[in-house]
Amino acid sequence: MSLLSVRDLTVTYQTQTGPVPAVRGVSFDIDRGEVLGMAGESGCGKSTVVNAIMRLLPPKAKVGGEVLLNGEDVLKMKPGRLRAVRWTEAAVIFQGAMHALNPVQRIGDQIAEAIVIHGQSSERQALVRVGALLEQVGLPPRRLNDYPHELSGGQKQRVMIAMALACSPSLVIADEPTTALDVMVQAQVLKLLNELQHELGLAILFITHDLSVLVEVCDQLAIMYAGKIVEEGSSVKVFGQPAHPYTSALAGAFPAIGDHRFRLAPSGLGGDPPQPEAIPSGCSFHPRCPLAFEECPVTEPQLYPAGDGRKAACLLIEHGASIGAQP
Amino acid sequence: MRIPELQPKGDAPVLVDAGDVPPPIAPKSPRAITWARRKRSFLRVWAVYRSNKMGMWGLYILAFFIAVAVFAPLIASKEGLDPTCACTGTPFSPPSLHFPFGTDNFGRSVLTLTIWGSRISLVVGLVATLISIVIGSLIGIIAGYRGGWSETALMRLTDWFLVIPFLPLAIVLVSVLGRSLAVIIIVIGVTSWPSTARVVRAQVLSVKTRPYVERSRALGAGSWHLIGRHILPNVGPLIFANTIILIAIAILSESALAFLGLGDPLSISWGTVLEFAFGAGAAGAGQWWWLVPPGLAIVFVVLAFTMCGFALDEILNPKLRER
Amino acid sequence: MSAPAPTEVAQPVLEVRDLHVRFQGRLGLGAGLIGKKAVEARAVDGVNLKLFPGEVLALAGESGCGKTTLARTIMGLEKPRSGQIFFEGKPLADLKKYRRRVQMVFQDPTAALNPRQTIYESVAEGVRIHGIGRAADALTEEQMVARALSRAGLRPPERFYLNYPHELSGGQRQRVVIAGALVLDPEVIVADEPVSSLDASVRGEILKLLLGLRNDLDIAMLVVTHDLGLAWTIADRVAVMYLGRIVEIGPAEDVLTRPIHPYTKALLNVVPEAGGLDRPFLSGEPPDPTRIPDGCRFHPRCPEVASGAAKAAGVEAKCTGEDLGLERFRVEHFAACHLARLRAATDTEPSDV
């Protein structure tokens, strides 16, 4: 059984102008110790997926489908059970670590709080655990007496990771954990996450707009576009030989230095990602697709097998065409 | 994909290349574009405003009072204000068919007094606010934009005016300069600007650091251009919303001054009507009809301006809008 | 698409000589009374840079290295402490005239456009500021705006005149900002992280546009970026900045595939690539421009110093004690590193001067 199994998840926001579909039927599984990367651009619904899994959506959002955590549907949990599950079984590392910490509380107390709330130990024991946690994320244990302003951005993000690990969850959801960080620090934090994942056997759902980051840390990749997964498979395959034209364009935005195909030849797509209020008919990618044909605006593609255990939602795949590695 | 239609530089007459320079469209002169933009912008604000219930009720009430003030000569003859007029009734008579709001000590219709009083009250409110807004905005913009010692000096001046108690100052000024409408307006105007100056300065400080101001500076813009094109348009709506609320305060201040006997004895405002009534002992004699109409008029107009002001503030104030 | 070979004989369109920019830290009254001194950040600390006509020069480095400050100082948005800026060989005199010919593209197009101005007004701003586009000029204001918009890829331009920035997508907004820079027919565009706030699939199109402007209009560009992958796709030359100085500069292909300075190598290491995270990364925090180390300013983080390689080669004392400038290693390829200099002098391998 998968640790996390999301089945046909749909999220619709109710707005003044009518319902807006943010997630339109997303299914995926994460096994214990597996890292799934989910990439997509602004407005593709990736953050809504995170919030739906953790049930952090505003009450106005209508959620459909199933989110099975250890076989139990998160969407049907009672509030008490939900509180117990958050942190202890699934924890989130949010983006923007700068603002997620309470500025007037020592970081040690903030991490200990999570442990104490979940009744895992007394306050004194908790602080011992916090020291160990800080060491684990590469900070000296004495820093637990520091206030957030005494830490740099990268250190704050490390504290956020320690906080997520405080109750030894088996699943960690990382929502753009490195976006606000500088290039060097970003690499350090990624390396840390990677090491922790191996050390603790964590399952991680890693969400970001930066496809290249995912390739380094993930086993599996899922690419989202306009509220749906358009391609999924092993990360090296998906990034290296994309089956969907959108993935192909996205991969082109992260060129390999030394690869002369990219030298003085930036590649990208015309147009912009669609707004959730106005998703194009048929294949939602067709207005921007360089390979679109007559059927695309009409038929909505499903995820078709594309070889090597991959799936891609493109009618060309269904018709047996092979799409080049690069546009 | 290459970028088509680009024209290499130095390739002389650019006008010839039809692909690069689209033919000018006759009606779209820059001026026409500006006007079209203003119209659209206004319509958009109006559409949002219309969906605001509080703002619309405020507007209805205001429209009523403004109509009354403008058409006062048509509704009630001005002769009704003259105590010697033949049209007066018995003094102190309660509401009747002929005098719906009753009469005062001279037998004048309280309705006529209230109708004519609206003119002075509204004019004093508007003019005093205008003075206050001009001073406040000027000081706020200069302080916010210039910064440095001029900001420090101007803001200390603002603080100084902010802490002066209004009524004692007004009483002193009126007794020195004499009781006239102009004095009342000036007194209210020069004492109510500090709050505007503070609000405007804060907004200017925030607009000043926006990247679009920076972009304009990088394009070569000077101070006048930056203030006129970027800072004022972004501070203007806030000033406007502030103005509407200030009018309410000014009307209230005028009524208060008039009630204390500091008003212009020759002109009839709601405040002076109240003062006459109070002075004639209407409250003690149970002549409620003499006090209630001007009192309610003040309450409604102040309420209406405040409602409109808050509604506009919600739409135009960037800080509230972001929520 | 061949880049113009920047040779010594060519006249740089823009040149920066020994530029220093410092920021004074704020000091509380109490701290001043007990004799503390305000900290001073040396954001740009002695930069020499030439930008040749029609070339794209990428200025790379991590945050806090001074690359954005350098760009802003070139635009006259910050005042230099010392040093000079030359435009077409002459020292900068008339800032307003200069700003007609050197334009800036900003990082966040949403913030760089006045939300209360239409696209037409935003693009026409430069024309109005400089009082051109009147009846006597070759082009009317409207023609100039239309030309700029269509050059920036917004066609037909009239369709965008009355739009407000919030009605456009991120990519279109950045095109408007670029059109606003193009409207005055500039010689130079300074672009500060021009695509970092855009969606990944849109970035390529904007970069294509910038590269197209270089190719077709011969505009020289200084592109500030933290992303060396971006430098690989659009730059002719790359300059790497560390703590207010350029530590390596040269032809993009050479710098990115055969880096000399250990810092450039470290920056290249953090460019993500498939196959895991086994490469060595620099540890520690981004450098602090208020405390610039003595000697080579990179030595506290330098992997060559940490690994003992510098000591073995006998240059560690120089690394920690002797400041150094750029030196030529290969054709047009300069770097500032004691160890690399020593190796180049003893080995025959990397040098082909």
Helix (H, G, I), strand (E, B) or coil at C246: strand
Q: Which two tokens stand for residue C254?
A: 């050479």
d(CA B45, CA B114) in angstroms, rounded, equals 34
Q: In the predicted model, what is the mean pLDDT of residues B174-180?
A: 83
Q: Which of C97, C103, C105, C118 is the best residue to mutate to test the B interface, defined by the most B CB atoms within 10 Å of its own CB?
A: C118
pLDDT averaged over every residue in chain B: 80
Q: Are C127 and C184 in contact (CB under 8 A)?
A: yes
Closest CA relative to residue B94, chosen from B85, B102, B86, B84: B102
Mean pLDDT calculated for residue range B243-258: 87
Q: How far is C230 from chain A (nearest CA, A)?
A: 8
The more confident residue out of B142 and B148 is B142
| pLDDT for the residue B290 | 82
Which helix or strand (DSSP H or E) is residue C345 part of? helix C338-346
Which pLDDT does position C33 carry in this prediction?
59
Which residue in A176, A184, A220 has the most chain C C-beta atoms within 10 A of its own C-beta, making it the best mutation to test that interface? A184
Cβ distance of B229 and C125 shorter than 8 Å:
yes
Shortest Cα distance, chain C CAs vs residue A42, angstroms: 7
Using the predicted structure, report yes or no on whether residue B21 has a pLDDT greater than 70: no
Q: Please list the helix, strand and coil fractions of chain C in percent, rounded to the nearest 5, in that order.
A: 35, 20, 40
Q: Helix, strand or coil for residue A238?
A: helix
DSSP B93-127: PPP-SSSTT-B-TT--BHHHHHHHHHHHHHHHHHH
User: What is the reported pLDDT for A167?
Assistant: 86
Q: Which is higher by pLDDT, A250 or C49?
A: C49
C positions 228-287 inside 8 Å of A (CB): 228-229, 232-234, 253, 256-257, 266-277, 281-283, 285-286
Q: How confident is the model at residue A215, as a pLDDT?
A: 84
Angle between helices B232-259 and B288-316 (to 10 degrees): 170
More confident residue, C349 or A24: A24
The reported pLDDT for the residue numbered B322 is 42
Nearest to A193 by CA among A211, A220, A175, A167: A175
Q: What is the pLDDT along chain A (327 residues), one digit of tens a residue?
A: 789 999 999 999 988 788 899 999 999 999 999 999 999 888 888 889 999 998 888 888 899 999 999 989 999 999 888 888 888 888 888 876 667 788 888 988 888 888 887 776 777 888 888 999 999 888 888 888 889 888 888 888 889 899 888 888 999 999 888 877 888 888 888 888 999 999 999 999 999 888 888 888 888 999 999 999 999 999 888 888 889 999 988 888 888 888 888 898 888 887 888 888 888 999 999 999 988 899 999 999 999 998 888 999 999 888 876 554 443
Percent of chain C with pLDDT over 90: 54
Would you say residue B321 has pLDDT above 70? no
More confident residue, A26 or C6: A26
Instruction: Say how many C-beta atoms besides its own lie within 10 A of residue B17's C-beta.
Output: 12
Q: With residue A39 as reference, give the H or E element that holds it.
A: strand A35-39
B1 chain-C contacts, CB cut-off 8 A: 208
The shortest CB-CB distance from C218 to any of B3, B9, B219 is to B9
Which among C99, C112, C161 is the nearest to B220, CB-wise?
A: C99
pLDDT at residue B238 tops 90 = no
Contact between C165 and C115 (Cβ < 8 Å): yes
B33 contact residues in C (CB cutoff 8 A): 118, 120-121, 161-162
- Beta-sheet pairing, C333-335 with C245-251: antiparallel
A249 Cα distance to chain centroid: 20
Averaged pLDDT score across all residues of chain C = 87
Of B15, B29, B34, the CB nearest to C139: B15
pLDDT of residue C298: 92
Element (H, E) at A14: strand A4-15
For chain B, the residues whose C-beta falls within 8 A of a C-beta of chain C are 1-3, 5-9, 13-15, 20-22, 24-25, 28-30, 33-34, 36-37, 40-41, 210-212, 214-222, 225, 229-230, 233-234
**pLDDT on residue C131:** 86
Would you say residue B22 has pLDDT above 60? no
Q: How far is C147 from chain B (nearest CA, A)?
A: 5
Judge whether residue B110 has pLDDT over 80: yes
Confidence band for B24, pLDDT divided at 50, 70 and 90: very low
Please give the average per-residue pLDDT across B78-85, as a whole number. 74
- 8 Å CB contact of C268 and A257: yes
Residue B297 phi, psi (nearest 5)? -60, -45
Q: Predicted confidence band at B17 (pLDDT cuts at 50, 70, 90)?
A: very low
The pLDDT of residue A98 is 64
What's the per-residue H, E or C state across A186-200?
HHHHHHHHHHHHHHH
pLDDT at A124: 80
Question: How does pLDDT run across C291-318, given as a tens digit for each residue?
Answer: 889 999 999 999 999 888 899 988 889 9
Q: Residue A95's pLDDT is what? A: 76
Per cent of chain B over pLDDT 90 is: 20
| pLDDT (average), residues B120-134 | 91
Identify the pLDDT of residue B82: 74
Convert the pLDDT of each residue in B288-307 to its tens digit: 888 888 889 889 998 998 88
Q: Which residue of C has its CA nearest to A153?
A: C285
How far apart are the CA of C67 and the nearest CA of chain A, in angstroms?
Answer: 14
Q: How many CB atoms lie within 10 A of CB A105?
A: 12
pLDDT at A266: 87
| Cβ atoms of B137 and B202 closer than 8 Å | no
What is the rounded distance in angstroms from the CA atom of residue B147 to the CA atom of residue B152? 8
C contacts of B222 (beta carbons < 8 Å): 129
Distance from CA of C229 to the nearest CA of A (A): 6
Residues from chain A that touch C228, judged by Cβ atoms under 8 A, are 257
Span C135-147, mean pLDDT?
83
For residue B148, give Cα distances in angstroms to B151, B152, B218: 5, 7, 22
**Res B168 pLDDT > 90:** no
Residues paired with C225 in a beta bridge: C60
pLDDT band, residue B216 (cuts 50/70/90): very high
pLDDT score, position B51 = 86
Question: What pLDDT band is residue C135 in, cutting at 50, 70 and 90?
Answer: low
Query: Average pLDDT in the B120-148 region?
Result: 91
| C208 close to A (CB below 8 A) | yes
Asked if the model's pLDDT at residue B23 lies above 50, the reply is no
Contacting chains of B (3 CB pairs or more, <8 Å) are C
Residues of A in Cβ contact (< 8 Å) with C226: 182-183
pLDDT of residue A67: 93
Is residue A224 within 8 Å of residue A38, measured between CB atoms? yes
Per-residue confidence at B56, pLDDT binned at 50, 70, 90? very high
| Cα-only R_g, chain C | 22
Instruction: Supply the DSSP symbol for B16.
Output: G
- pTM of the predicted model, to two decimals? 0.82
Min CA distance, C30 vs chain B (Å)? 20
- Residue B125: CB atoms within 10 A of its CB come to 26
Q: How confident is the model at residue B3 (pLDDT cuts 50, 70, 90)?
A: very low
